Amino acid sequence: MIKGALRLLKTAEKWFLPSVVVAFVLLCMCSQSQAAGRVSGLRIGQGISSVRIVFDADSEFDYNVFLLDSPKRLVVDTKNVYVGKALEKTKDSNNLISRVRVGDIHDSKTRVVFDLLKPVVVKKVFMLPPQSTFKWRLAIDVTVASEREFRQKAGIDNAYGNKSLSTGENWQPSSENGSSSKAAAKTNAKKIIVIDAGHGGHDPGAIGYSGVHEKNITLAMAKELKRQLDRKGKYKVYLTRSTDVFIPLRKRVDIARKYKADLFMSVHADSALNRSATGLSVYTLSETASDKEAAALAERENKADVISGLNLYEQSKEVSDVLISLAQRETRNRSSEFAKCLVDEMRKSVKLINDTHRFAGFAVLKAPDIPSVLLEMGYLSNKYEERKLRQESYRRKLASSAVKAIDRYFEDMKHKSLF
């Protein structure tokens, strides 16, 4: 009888234990299947008094992003995605985030907490679809702020998100409490573009072959470009001037910064002693001009500030020399990206000069945090090119190419890590 019982026990072990293991595995698989995908990585990139946080994932997922105080934290609540503790090991150096913590909350949600070293505000939150070698990405831009600004923006009611996710409590990394709230969908904000019509007022700019003033050509072009961009419906476009007035060069930069521009484009028309010179060119910032012609052109444009009696090299009080240098380096990279788009599109419809993308120290290009280009539409000193620039149809063609370049630039920037 005892032997029979032992045989029965062995039989039970043979069939019951594997069944338990299989059931356990199936249970795990079932719990993981509730998540549509998984977050495969976390990157933190240092910007200009800001950082960009990027979650890499193999599928789109729901999220809420908000700030909490005492202590200062940036919180990212997620749903329908697996987020592992491995994110806590992120070692990307930056000056705003001291530590990353990950913990589960109720109803298949996960919370990621970024402990902050300074008060910040959330500038942008957006989800990017797969592109090139990248899969899905959630990008969060935060920038340094005052204590007052931080307190105004802290709390779940100011969340950025694509779904309404209720927050949880009693989870391992911390014990934040929060209430349910509809997240404010702020990811589809229009891009802000500032168009600068060169010269104006008592500063006529170049004088054309027949006596036309550059300031009038640039204003007509700026208005046409704004008209076409407005028609797209996805941009907010501002002009530094809409009438024949003089605006100091540094003031033009201030206008772009006031509107928090995503892109600044200054429109000009060239002039040369050699009246056979023709062709369009694009300039971005360089402390040392790319050639003698570029240096002479930069000097000529910058004299507008001398006329107004302004200090050409006056720097913003809140930005140190080192920060300006770092900012300009990052901004120059983005400016060059746009210049390439502009040259590629213009090449399809108008004549370009050799080495079309050039570099100079134009004052209007020195905004430390706004990608900026200066477009020289052609030579007013050339009889035939001046005639074309005076034609509305030709300016319309130039503007159409510029709009295509702007569309392409912002589309490209969506899919690039700009750390």
Inter-residue contact 63 to 161 (CB < 8 Å): yes
Query: Band of the pLDDT at 238, cuts 50, 70, 90?
Result: very high
Q: Do residues 331 and 405 both lie within one domain?
A: yes
Average pLDDT, the chain: 79
- Total number of domains in the chain: 2
Residue 106 confidence (pLDDT) above 80: no
Q: Is residue 52 part of a domain?
A: yes
pLDDT tier for residue 12 given thresholds of 50, 70 and 90: very low
Tell me the C-alpha distance between 91 and 99, whole Å. Answer: 9
Query: Can you give the pLDDT at residue 281?
Result: 95
Q: Which of 307, 231, 225 is nearest to 268 (CA)?
A: 225
- pLDDT of 129 strictly over 70: yes
Q: Domain of 394: which CATH number?
A: 3.40.630.40
- pLDDT surpassing 50 at residue 371: yes
Q: Report the pLDDT averaged over residues 408-413.
A: 88
Which ranges in 273-320 belong to alpha helices (H)? 292-307
Shared domain check, 222 and 145: no
150 plus 246 within the same structural domain: no
Greater model confidence, 363 or 246: 246
pLDDT at residue 200 tops 70: yes
Residue 245 phi/psi, 5-degree rounding, is -125, 155
Query: pLDDT tens digits for 145-155?
Result: 888 888 889 98
Scanning 47-176, the segments in alpha helix (DSSP H) are 147-153
Domain containing residue 122: 37-161
Q: Compare 33 and 233 and report the one with higher pLDDT.
A: 233
Q: Is residue 172 domain-resident?
A: no
Report yes or no: 100 and 117 within 8 Å, Cβ to Cβ: no
pLDDT surpassing 70 at residue 276: yes
How high is the pLDDT of residue 352?
95
Q: Is the pLDDT of residue 414 over 80?
A: no
Segment 107-132 shows an average pLDDT of 88
SS3 percent helix, strand, coil of the chain, rounded to 5, is 35, 30, 35
Do 301 and 410 lie in one domain? The reply is yes
Full DSSP string of 7-64? HHHHHHHHHHHHHHHHHHHHHHHHHHHTSSEEEEEEEEEE-SSEEEEEEEESS--EEE
